[in-house]
Structure 1
Amino acid sequence: MGQERLLERANEKFEQYSFSPAIDIYKKVLDKGYVSAEVLKKLGNAYYFNADYKEAAAIFERLVKEFPENVEEEEFFKYAQSLKSLGDYDASQKVMDQFLEMTSGDRRALNLDRARDYMAEIRKNSGRYTISDFPQNTEYSEFAPSFYEQGLIFASDRDTGNLAKYRHTWNSKDFLDLYEIKGEIKKGVGVVKLGDNINTRLHESTSITTKDGNIMYFTRNNVVEGKYAKDAEGFIRLKIFRAKRIDGQWLEIEDLPFNSDAYSVAHPALSPDEKTLYFASDMPGSIGASDIFMVTINDDGTFGAPENLGPNINTEARETFPFVTANETLYFSSDGHPGLGGLDIFGTKIKRKDFTGNVMNVGEPANSNKDDFTYIIDEETKEGFFASNREGGLGNDDIYAFVENEPLIFDCVQKITGTVRDKISNMVLVGATVKVLNEDNEELTTTFTDSNGEYSLVLDCNQGNFVRALMEGYTPFEEYIGVSDGKPKIIDFYLERDQVTAGYGDDLAKLLQLSTIYFAFDKYDITKRSEIEIQKVIAAMEKYPSLKIKVNAHTDSRGPAAYNLWLSQKRAEATVAYMIAKGIAADRLSSEGYGETRPLNECVDGVRCSAEKHDVNRRSEFIIQE
């Protein structure tokens, strides 16, 4: 027979046997009562990726009940998602709780109360600032800078001589005034007190003005008819006042309606559209010693009801001195979030009033082991100011100027790279899709493999993600990545064909991805463990009655060569006998033992090899015959 005819016949056979190892084979094996964790996983995944959630849920349920020690995170997730898709939300949540328990080890890595390495996070954001002195610092206290027209407004007790050591508490008794720097800030030209309507014999501190400079919100001691007003415990609380600039003077100063004699409201900040006022308070509904709140400013100048920003931002300790940038980044000071000591400065994105984003320490040198607070920044120029009582200052509190050289990294970004290959041939798959999905099965990003079968993507490592590889003609596969430290990770995918087409000379052991057919030492009896693997071959032969197989058995090089040859022949014959006993006609089967004569690696007589390398040569082949 000529070469062309042989090739033609081989192609005919190649197209003749086509089956799905994921469903056709594994379902038939399972229906016969041969069950293992691997079979259930394969079948459950096949149903899941084909959106047959009813069958997927049933198979994953069996997996969890019969092989609980073999269930991995991905199976719990897919089981929960399958139940959710069927509308069984209660059962889905119970399974999802098990999934979250399994992934809690990853979450501990980035959670302070579970040994989170927060110092590594602080170091990551450190070194981004160039710090310089503020020309207007004195031996007294200067703090609370705020942008005003071309200059600044800041608070100081320079004219009263009362050091502001109480300025972090709600019962500040020292006399602070507000000052304006006119002209170029760095030169400190034209520093003047604001008018008497703003500055009184009482305490005024933090302030914010509208962009047009016509409305100011500022903090002042609680006062009634020119006298301090104390709460039930004898403390003088703080309030926010609003003033209007009319003909160059601050007039119509009013006490905001959500102020109280019983608690403090202080440190105002405005949203970019100036329709929301942020502030600090210990009002009812606070989580800690002081929380950050927001309140809507209505078009007619009235206010809505104050709202707490929630537990992602507020802690049981102090959150205070908010500032909101043009791009809606909220900066504030806290001694409740992990820091370097005292109050540290933190940032978080709050676009669309979403207060669930990562709260990030801005790092050194803006933060120190002392109190660091009243941070402001112009995102366009990258210039800003903050105050600190750190060592080396002129007074109790000093203002520092800075330039931000690199942006604050809010998100934990992890780079994932790898290749996508055919599991059988090891060929790279060009144009394969690689997706990132969150734990709610929502697609976050998609990329494709290049001409080398390689892909690259980034994901948010502050949450659990699934990286899924897909290719037409292949069964999808995914890997779960829990919360991590953001270090780059390589994930190579080996996809199985959803339809395996086989022909003359192909090894069904490879096409079906059979596990090793194990025999007891020095024995040739079929073990329970190996029955399941052989049943997969039987399933393929039952589907295609014309399929003929030759069973080849191989040993490793350990032991005498003649004995290995005899033993391998016995094992090949035992495999054939088992298949005949299960209903496969004898004329469709043949066998041969090769002993140690056909190794797949260098492990021959006289060569020292590990047990793992020897195991590669201990194999059974199921070769398709003409």
Structure 2
Amino acid sequence: MKLKNHIVICLALMLSFSVFSQQGKQKRADTLFNKFSFVKAAELYQDLIEKNYNKDYATRKLADCYAYLRNPQRASRYYKKVVEQDNVPIEYYYSYAQSLRGIKKYKESQIWLKRFKDSGGVVNANDFSKNANFITSIFNAKQQYFLDRVRFNSKYSDFGAFEHDGKVYFASSRDEGVAVKRLYGWNEQPFLDVYVAKVGSRRNVDYTGKLKGDVNSIYHDGPVTITKDGKTMYFSRNNYKDQVRKRDNSGLTAMKIYRATLQDSVWTNIEDLPINSDDFSTQHAALNKDDTKLYFASDRPGGYGGSDIYVVDINPDGTLGEPQNVGNVVNTENAEGFPFINQEDVLFFSSDGHVGLGLLDVFATIKGENGDFVDVVNLGIPVNSNKDDFSFTMNPNGITGYFASNRRGGRGDDDIYAYYREPIMQVEGVVTDAINAKPIANSKITLYDDKDNEIAYMETDENGFYQINIDRNQDYKIVGGQDKYIDDYRTFTSKNLQTELTTITANLLLNPKPNVVKLAELNTIYFDFDKHNIREDAALELDKIVNLMLNDYPEMVIRIESHTDSRGALTYNDKLSIDRANSTYEYLVSKGVNPERITEHQGFGERRLTNGCVDGQKCEAEEHQLNRRTQFIVVKME
């Protein structure tokens, strides 16, 4: 028996660990997906499907991964399974249609586009074009980005916002509050300088917000990027050194990337990098997540046209390798610039050479399984507009960031816009025992939509905790249960919630379910014929009840009902049953049970026989014994 119990315990622990492991895996997959790391995310979603963990949800996300990886063949295979799910969001009809078009199944694609439209979806004219960009159309089937207000824009040009250590660094030509302004002849605005503002500041930034140190010069300076340790800055500047501005053969002053170091809270030791030249521009520095690679834009010879995106290795000693063009998946014959690398090493950039909404648009790159660039995705509205949209950056959380645009409605020339991506939303909670407030491990949690369709299920971990991903703008019901407990549920909604809210809490309280077999064994005690004293075997059962009430369920309230067999006079049996009820009551109280937790202790004589052994009926002694009993009725569990 001990070996069997050990096996059961081990299996329970393994199951709990497995559930917890799948929870963590799904959360990691969502994080990777949210940061454009689709190859790694796809591997985890595939594993979740194989483990049958939130399979419907994982299938949706896996299909999206393959779509973004420019694999319409695999994407359509999984989108086909998705559209067969109950209550699937209608944008998946659209995605399935686009994936079918990607494998040239145009008739089937039209059918699903029509179903999308008939379900309330908005279809643009170019959605029916065989030449429309497959990935971009799927990516923008649902709005990904939303705008936040930025308070430090001016009437001049502001762009290149980069957040680091609670501060926002940006380039601006505002130079207001200065007696003598140097104007840039190109647009008659002051030259650009680097400014700093606190994240979330409600104050505007004047000339006192200029970056301290030697970065700002009398010509154009900025934008900047900073290493993770905060000690090194790379920034753009006109070709200017030792108070002299150099010009190329055309009479123009090129841009260069310089390096500065932080000393005593001041940026100094300005260094001209070897990737620069007097004959072409090098600008818009960006660092990868571990500061080992520097990305930049340049119109140097040998590119694809206009300006291209390049990358160069940063050696441990700070020296630079040989710049490499990132290739023609990213670069076009027109202009590409303003590269940015997020924490998952996804390259973002601006371009007027890829198909976009206007002039410069912001794009994200998609990498294949071997790490090569395979496609680019237009980030869509509201990041992009019919004007210039550029200098996109993303904070380490993968959710928030900045970009610049000269679109209508801004405060000045180029304005900085803050954005947030709509993050994955989750419902989470803890399932606890309503009596002793202890967490209940391995409780089954089931999520339903507003039509009582089951969406997902899981089990709580060893701490009674659960977490399930949900869609926004939906009504839900969450139900928790376990074999030994009565189900509990909560209804909740994800409608009309702030996008910053990513978690809804729905804790569940389960009341223990009366176990008929256990109560029959535990609650019933028996008496000798014509006796009301507590026998030894009855005392053992009563001690179990004492332990139950004092330790396991300190709020449980009971009542006592005692009975006799049919032998003897009716009035005598009534008194005898009352004596038995009193004996039972006094025993429990003597062992420490609070009398207030025993609402009644009554005797019913022979009025409630458990069998047919009535007066005049011949019965065996064992049958009469079954009627000489005291039972315990649970009145309240909490």
TM-score when normalising by structure 1: 0.44
User: Relative CO higher for 1 or 2, CA cutoff 8 Å, sep ≥ 6?
Assistant: 1
TM-score when normalising by structure 2: 0.43
